[in-house]
Amino acid sequence: MTKKLGTGEEEKEMSFLDHLEVLRWHLIRSSLAVVIVGVVAFLAKDFIFDTILFGPKRADFPTYQFFCNLTRSLGMNEAFCTGPDFRIQSRQMSGQFSAHIWTSIWAGFILAFPYILWEVWRFISPGLYENERKNSRGFILIASLLFFIGVLFGYYVIAPLSINFLANYHVSQEVFNDIDLTSYISTIRSSVIACGLIFELPIIMYFLTKIGLVTPDFLRKYRKISIVIVLILSAVITPPDITSQIIVAIPILVLYEVSIYISKVVLKRDARKLKKQKSKA
């Protein structure tokens, strides 16, 4: 990898320690961005907790209203119309304060994600050829857009489906659902972060194709195996009912097909460039 020292200066090879030093500063700046945004989230406690985090707990949450109207129109069970039935409690002396701190940090990570990607791009771009830099200009925008779409999908689909199912599940009427604050936040956090990262699949496939580890034929060949993996993944991050698993599996399968198309486009583009280079030679 090479890195420019400044305007008008020649590029020179960097040593391993030089790379570590550069990486260290990228990590420091990324961490500072997370901390700064996290401080803002910490100060916006009422909005973060009462509006965002505790939104899926209320029966008037948009997801429940949508599925309530849908099940009513289909004459199905109206379990979504009542919303989840549970209370949230904190069973540790520092429980609420710790939840406030860690929630602010994770909010900082989510909101600062585009900047983190920009720092990643600044680290890897000096090692790319000029044409590769030009072809990857939209990396930050597209990757950030996919991440936030995944976050919204996790928040409005995965989290409420999980909360509604688990909160309304009873082994006996003698047992009351008083959910610990940490457990509740963990359910939402894992749903949101997992979906945000899963929706980065097309970007991952783009770079894997660029370095020659993945081809469209490879992705098509193992499509059936991938479908099984997607269904298993859907079963892991959703409550154990078939409807929720299908709802989650569909966008992941769509992303897989999009990844095949992206891989195909990348190979065609590289083939055209190679052909032009040969014709010029």
- Ordered per-residue pLDDT tens for the chain, 281 residues: 444 444 344 345 667 677 788 888 889 999 999 999 999 999 999 999 999 999 999 988 999 888 888 877 877 766 677 778 788 999 889 999 999 999 999 999 999 999 999 998 888 777 666 766 666 667 888 899 999 999 999 999 888 988 888 888 788 888 888 889 999 999 899 889 988 988 888 888 888 887 778 888 888 888 888 778 777 776 666 655 666 667 777 888 888 888 888 888 888 877 777 777 667 66
Report the domain count for the chain: 2
Residue 1 lies in a domain: no
Q: Count Cβ atoms below 10 Å from residue 2 Cβ, excluding itself.
A: 12
**pLDDT at residue number 97:** 95
User: Taking the CB of residue 59, how many other CB atoms lie within 10 A of it?
Assistant: 14
Whether 34 is in a domain gets the answer yes
Residue 118 to residue 107: CA distance in whole angstroms: 18
Same domain for 102 and 44? yes
Query: Residues 89, 113: one domain?
Result: yes
Handedness of CA 262, 210, 252, 160 (dihedral sign): negative
Q: What is the pLDDT of residue 265?
A: 83
Report pLDDT for 239. 59
The predicted pLDDT at position 6 comes to 41
pTM (two decimals): 0.81
* 168 and 30 within one domain: yes
Could you say which of 137, 168, 199 is where a domain stops?
199
Q: DSSP 3-state assignment of 90?
A: coil
| Domain membership flag for residue 142 | yes
174 domain-assigned: yes
Question: 170 and 240, same structural domain?
Answer: no
In a domain, 55, yes or no: yes
Name the domain boundary from 172, 199, 226: 199
The whole-number pLDDT of residue 109 equals 95
User: In which residue are the tokens 């945004």 written?
Assistant: 37
- Residue 131 dihedral angles phi and psi, to the nearest 5°: -65, -30
Among 199, 218, 252, the domain boundary falls at 199
Residue matched to tokens 């079963």: 235
| Tokens linked to 104 | 């602010």
CB 166 within 8 A of CB 239: yes
Has residue 242 been placed in a domain? yes
Whether residue 92 sits in one domain with residue 168:
yes
Q: Do residues 239 and 195 make contact, with C-beta atoms less than 8 angstroms apart?
A: no
pLDDT of residue 5: 41
Query: Same structural domain for residues 131 and 213?
Result: no
Query: Is the Cβ–Cβ distance between 97 and 85 less than 8 Å?
Result: no
- Kindly state whether residues 44 and 181 are assigned to the same domain: yes
Is residue 132 domain-shared with residue 18, that is, in the same domain?
A: yes
Token pair of 176, please?
């009351």
For residue 165, the enclosing domain spans: 14-199
**Best CA proximity match to 108, nearest among 42, 200, 46:** 42
Q: Is 281 among the domain residues?
A: no
Tokens 């209320």 correspond to 58
- Specify whether 119 is located in the same domain as 232: no
Residue 217 sits in the same domain as residue 192? no
